[in-house]
Structures are given as structure tokens and as C-alpha cells.
């Protein structure tokens, strides 16, 4: 009988807790996304832009204005408008762009792969350099390696990205000629590779057209390196902090007393214990690059989502601005939740 039932004070089995955790996660995601939609909806209402005039133009008559006002549903209560907006977004309907004349969802699907490719390559650069640099800075604390890592981090946090982008263009494109200029691909190579994923490097590699691949890489490497540098500054600083905490632990001292090599102690013990924390750091860095690449895309004329939102804002195209904002915000929320799930899955202490 005692085996068939749970005693008082005993924790519920892990499988019994999963449904409640899943329900809690779903509720958290739903409330967060609902809050995001509410914020973007209110932004569209408080912006000093008349949505009716943006549609019909300033030369429309009063009768045309009132007809369009009712057609857009602006005569309904604000709460009714909000839930109508939520229903449309859930169906993937962000309205029609006034600038392009296309559905906003279709425009976002066209430009987002460029931002995804740029942010992904920037994150790979930041991780591949930032993690080893942070580890070495912690192992050789106070040495010239540590000083370099700290200076790179300080400059990365304090230097404006637009200035760094302009200087990069001037030096590596204008003076040295090592990379291609603004844009995503040379005019001569556009349309030569069929679009399968929207990622030029991937599509050209699949097609086996290495000439297009080299041209696309020559265009993306400089803006990706700029973003990668800011990612590197954050990742190396956090890696150094995590490693310093682990290297001062008793188990590291015990491992060294036992005669284990320094490489074994650092990489097989200390680094292994911070790998779960780094998952969260890298996920947040990736999310920041996805949402924060606006200035980089503008400087390098990169046809991504950040450039699309900025151009739409200058054209008073609020449907496009709000649609892009919702997509970026949703991605940021999802990456945060994913990192939290991975942390709980791989960290025994979180279990």
C-alpha cells in the first residue's frame, strides 16, 4: 500500500511534475507574447502618424477619411481593436505594407534570412574567439593575455557600432580592398543561384556555385565581424568570470594535487562546469545580434529586417514597423525561453 501511494512530504515523481511545468511554461510564453503584442499595438496608437492619412493620402475628402476610418476599424473601442489585432497576428496577418504594396508577412519572409545569416555568422565569430579568449584570460589572470581580453571587452562595450562600421569600410574596402563594399551580393551575381533557404552562403554552396559563394562571403565577412566583435566582448567577459569562479573552487585544487595536467583541469573539469552557463550567454548574445543589427545593416546597406524596419519607419509605414517589431520580439522571447529550458535540462542542480 505504501508503494502504491506517495507519502506525505515526499516529492512527486519527475514524470508527474512535467505536465505542470509544461503548463507553466505555456502560460508564461502566452502572457509574455500577449504583453509584447499589447506594447506594439499601443506604439501604433501613440505614434504621431495618422494611419488613415497614411492609407488614403492627405488630399482625400472628409467623406473618404470617415469611410476609411470605419473600414480600418478605428471607430471601435480600443480593447476590441486590440483583440482584433491579436487575432490577425496569430494568423500571420500583419497587414499590407504601404511602401512595397505587399503583405508585411511576405516582406518579412523575404528580408529576414539576410538578418539571420548575418547574426549567425557574427555569433559564430564571437563564440569561436570569445570563449577561448575568456578561458585563457582566467587561467593566466593578470598576464598580457588577460589585459588584451579586458581591453577588447572594454572597447567593444564603449565604441559606437556605426563608427566602427564606417572605419571598417574605409580601411578594409576603401583603402586595402580586402572585402567587397555595401550590399549582400554583387550586381552581376544576383539571381544566378536559386533561392532555397534564403541564406546566400548556403544556397550557393548547395548549388555548387563557388564564385557566387566567394562574392557573398566577401560582402558578409566585414559586417559579420563587426557584430562578432561586440558578441566577442560580451562572451569573453562572461567566460572569464565563470572560469575564475571555477578555478578558485576546491575540486580544482584537489585535481591539481592529484597530479592532473593543467589542460585536463581547465578543459575537462572547470570548463565543463561552465558550459551550461555559456549556453544561456550565447543564446542571449545571438538574440541581441538578431534584434540589434539595425545600425550595421544601414551602414552596410544590408537588405535585412533591421534595414526594412528603419526604411518603413522613415516612410511612415507602421504596418511594416509593427510587424517587424513583433517578429524580433517573439524571436528574443523564444530564445530566452529556449536557453532557460536547456539550462534546466543539462544542469543537474536545476533539476
Does residue 110 contact residue 66 with C-beta atoms inside 8 Å? no
DSSP state string for 241-262: HHHHHHHTSHHHHHHHHTT--H
pLDDT tens track for 239-252: 999 999 888 888 87
pTM surpassing 0.85?
A: no
- At residue 18, the pLDDT reads 65
Please, are residues 332 and 36 in contact by the beta-carbon 8 Å criterion? no
- Residues 64-93 have pLDDT tens digits of 778 877 777 777 787 888 888 888 888 888
Give the C-alpha separation, 130 to 232, whole Å: 5
Helix pair 104-139, 318-346: axis angle to 10 deg: 40
Q: How many CB atoms lie within 10 A of CB 107?
A: 24
CB contact at 8 A, 111 and 117: no
**By percentage, how much of the chain surpasses pLDDT 90?**
21
Q: Which domains does the chain have, with CATH numbers?
A: 14-90 (no CATH), 108-346 (1.10.3720.10)
C-alpha cell at 266: 581547465
Chain centroid offset of residue 175 CA: 32
Write out pLDDT tens, residues 218-274.
999 999 999 999 899 899 999 999 999 888 888 878 877 887 777 888 888 888 888
Q: Of 121, 175, 174, which is closest to residue 296 (Cα–Cα)?
A: 121
Cα 215 from Cα 213, distance rounded (Å):
5
Amino acid at each position: 500500500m505504501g508503494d502504491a501511494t506517495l507519502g506525505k512530504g515526499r516529492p512527486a515523481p519527475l514524470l508527474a511534475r512535467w505536465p505542470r511545468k509544461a503548463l507553466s511554461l505555456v502560460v508564461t510564453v502566452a502572457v509574455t507574447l500577449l504583453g509584447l503584442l499589447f506594447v506594439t499595438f499601443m506604439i501604433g496608437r501613440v505614434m504621431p502618424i495618422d494611419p488613415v492619412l497614411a492609407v488614403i493620402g492627405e488630399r482625400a475628402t472628409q467623406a473618404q477619411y470617415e469611410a476609411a476610418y470605419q473600414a480600418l476599424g478605428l471607430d471601435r473601442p480600443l480593447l476590441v481593436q486590440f483583440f482584433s489585432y491579436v487575432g490577425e497576428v496569430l494568423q500571420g496577418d500583419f497587414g499590407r505594407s504601404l511602401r512595397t504594396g505587399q503583405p508585411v508577412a511576405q516582406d518579412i519572409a523575404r528580408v529576414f534570412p539576410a538578418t539571420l545569416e548575418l547574426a549567425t555568422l557574427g555569433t559564430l565569430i564571437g563564440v569561436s574567439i570569445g570563449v577561448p579568449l575568456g578561458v585563457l584570460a582566467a587561467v593566466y589572470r593578470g598576464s598580457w593575455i588577460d589585459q588584451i581580453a579586458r581591453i577588447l571587452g572594454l572597447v567593444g562595450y564603449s565604441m559606437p557600432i556605426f563608427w566602427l562600421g564606417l572605419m571598417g569600410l574605409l580601411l578594409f574596402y576603401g583603402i586595402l580592398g580586402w572585402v567587397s563594399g555595401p550590399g549582400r551580393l554583387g550586381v552581376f551575381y544576383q539571381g544566378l543561384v536559386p533561392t532555397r533557404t534564403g541564406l546566400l552562403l548556403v544556397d550557393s554552396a548547395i548549388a555548387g556555385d563557388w564564385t557566387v559563394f566567394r562574392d557573398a562571403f566577401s560582402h558578409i565577412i566585414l559586417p559579420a565581424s563587426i557584430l562578432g566583435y561586440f558578441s566577442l566582448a560580451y562572451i569573453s567577459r562572461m567566460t572569464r568570470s565563470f572560469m575564475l569562479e571555477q578555478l578558485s573552487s576546491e575540486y580544482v585544487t584537489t585535481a591539481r594535487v592529484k597530479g592532473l595536467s593543467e589542460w585536463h583541469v581547465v578543459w575537462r573539469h572547470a570548463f565543463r562546469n561552465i558550459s551550461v552557463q555559456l549556453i544561456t550567454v550565447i543564446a542571449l548574445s545571438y538574440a541581441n545580434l538578431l534584434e540589434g543589427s539595425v545600425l550595421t545593416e544601414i551602414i552596410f546597406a544590408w537588405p535585412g529586417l533591421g534595414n526594412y524596419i528603419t526604411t518603413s519607419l522613415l516612410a511612415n509605414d507602421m504596418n511594416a514597423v509593427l510587424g517587424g517589431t513583433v517578429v524580433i520580439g517573439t524571436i528574443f522571447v523564444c530564445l530566452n525561453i529556449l536557453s532557460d529550458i536547456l539550462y534546466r535540462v543539462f544542469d543537474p542542480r536545476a533539476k
